Structure 1
Amino acid sequence: MASLAGEIERQGPAVPLDDIDRALIRRLSVDPRTSQRQLAREINMSGPTVGERIARLERAGVIRGYTVSVDWAALGFPVLVYIPISIAPGADLAQILTTLRAIPELEELTAVTGTYDLMARFRLRDHTHLQTLLLEDLWPVEGLQRIETFLSLGEVPAPGLLDRLLDQHTADD
């Protein structure tokens, strides 16, 4: 699994943040479409200064993008499935990753420690869709030693995570 190291996204060092940076991140996390002018009014700064701060946070990788929260059930993909994967020794990891990444329903693929090597998360329509995923997309993949299937019963939100971690960041300064 040493070859997996080259595929894992590398983490950078923690970026120092001040109270204004944290306020901007909090406000943008609530509504990423908030204008810089509105942000400037809310934190009593000039628009250009807010723009410079946001640009600095983007360059530093603190803000990695702006996103839309999707209701997957409304789009016809209400089933969330986690599939832990063990890779056979000597298997062609590059080919396995290429094959897995090509599956349209793959939402996330994470390298993990423990009994398994990877944890895949898929968004599916129904039981038949899961059956097709397993029989046609996963089981035929050369080098997969073992997989399991965990069906989600529903997501349990952890509200306030960003605020809690930003508060911890403040305490660690």
Structure 2
Amino acid sequence: MSRTLFCKCLQFGWGKYLEPVSFCLERLGDINQWEGSDHPTSWPTVYLAHSLKLKERLGIYKALQFLGDFFLQEKDEVTSISLFTLTLEGFTEMDVHRSRAECMIRIGDISNKHGDFLKALKLWEQARPLFERSSQAKSIQHINERLAGIGQDVKEQHKMTLAPLTELNAPVGMVEELDKDLSEDESENEEARLVAV
């Protein structure tokens, strides 16, 4: 589908149909869908605001992942790796295989670029079965190409020193804080509805 069609659907459904609006915003917010075109960078932010308003947890994490892609495209690796690490934690809790794997790929690519081949290798290897579970043959092929580019000496070293995923310097507790905020908002809304009744 073209971006123009998504925009038309969005205009038609805005304020009336929540699910189609969320669907369109998710497609428009994913800047990787529109490579080679002049993509407005505001879509990931609009998708995040929409998801926060509806308290759509999966949408919030996807929008943050898309913002991570945007910052990576802008060469701001510090911000992008923070966003990918946060969303990886969230997708792991929600058991969303494909999105987890995508975050691992991004963090692995950044690690590889900065010479941390062991971390890159570990993340890519962990991402492959997640892509397999979500039937992403093209992504599996890309991982195999990445792994083929890693030297045998690094692979041997990797077998001897398997570091835990917690060494990603994840902003520990941010997912719990977000969940707590969403739960508190839901409780307040429920209390307000009860008072109104």
Please report the TM-score for the alignment, with normalisation by the length of structure 2: 0.26
Which is bigger in relative contact order (C-alpha 8 A, separation at least 6)?
A: 1
Looking at secondary structure, tell me which structure has more helix per residue.
2
Looking at secondary structure, tell me which structure has more strand per residue.
1
Greater radius of gyration (CA)? 1
